[in-house]
Every structure is written in structure tokens, then in C-alpha cells.
Chains A and B, each alone.
Chain A
Amino acid sequence: MRVYLESNFLLLGSETIESIDFELPEVSLKELLAALSRRSADSLEFLRNDGTDLSLDWDIEVNGRSFGLCDGGLEAILNDGDTVTIKLALLGGG
């Protein structure tokens, strides 16, 4: 299955990566985030509280809706062709 990715930063160090494929019939949002974390050079850390919550530093949507509105939240099952949007929540600015 293929999950499309959108972000306002270089998610996997490249502007050209627009999707991620899985050799599985289905994956949860949490599994997607774990896969992204493994593939990122900076070991991105999306979850907190032993993986039960999203870290405050990310804003994540599935098909344009906050992940919290999806059935199961972080455990929500993604479908082939779904789009996951990941944005940074920043602590600092100019």
C-alpha cells in the first residue's frame, strides 16, 4: 500500500519524497510514524508517554483532518492512497 506524505519541512531529507510504500495490507498511523522515524537521519521522535500520545511538537492530519478525529487516533488504520500531513510545531521564531 502507498501513503502520500505532505509536510512543511524536509521530512526525509528530500523534497522529492512524496509517498511511502508498505509491503503490508494495512498500517496504523503509529506504524507510519515509526517507519518515518526509522528512515529519518535525525531519528525523528513523534510520540511520547511510551508511544501513547503524539508529541506536542507535531501537527498531524490524515486526509486533511486532525489525526485525533480519526477512529482510533494514533492507532487509526490508514488506507492505500491516504495522505498524511505532518507539520512542525515550533518553539521559537523571528
Chain B
Amino acid sequence: MNYLLLILGAAIFSFGVLGALTLRNAIRILMCIELMLNGANLTFIATASQLPDPGLAQSMVVFAIAIAASETIVGLGAIVAMYRAKGWVTLEQFSLLKW
């Protein structure tokens, strides 16, 4: 098992979680979520390289990247719509609904 890569994946995922939970800017949270996804992808690749049949996990990574891209598009669209309406995207200023 390629422990170094697994640990790197876990570290990237943890940074993403930490950032997503502590940061207050919607765009930055979005970037942290991307980090979380990439941590998962790295874990897939690290495991797949040790297995006789790596194809399945690698195809999972391709799917995950494609899905992450489409998710980001939707998210940025929502954030831009909110920015146009209000002029800010930080979560402290969410006033109409309690966070």
C-alpha cells in the first residue's frame, strides 16, 4: 500500500474540511470543497495503483472530476446571482434566513 499518497490524500481532504467549516466567503468554501474532492481522488489513485485492475477506480476519478466541474458551475452561478442581487457573498451577511 502506498501510504504516503494515502496520507497526502487524507491531509488534502482535512484541509478542505477545515477550510469549508471555518471560512466565511462562499467562493473560498467552494474551493475548499474542491480540495476535499481532490483528496478523495488521490486516495482512489493511490489504492488503484496497488490493485491488479486499476481501471475501475481510475474511471471513478474521471467521473468525480467531471461531476465536480458541473457542480462548480452550478455553485458559481448561484453565487454570482446572489452577488448581483446583494453585492456580497460572505456568509455572515446572510440575514434573511438564520444560518
| A, B co-complexed | no
Interface positions of B (Cβ within 8 A of A): none
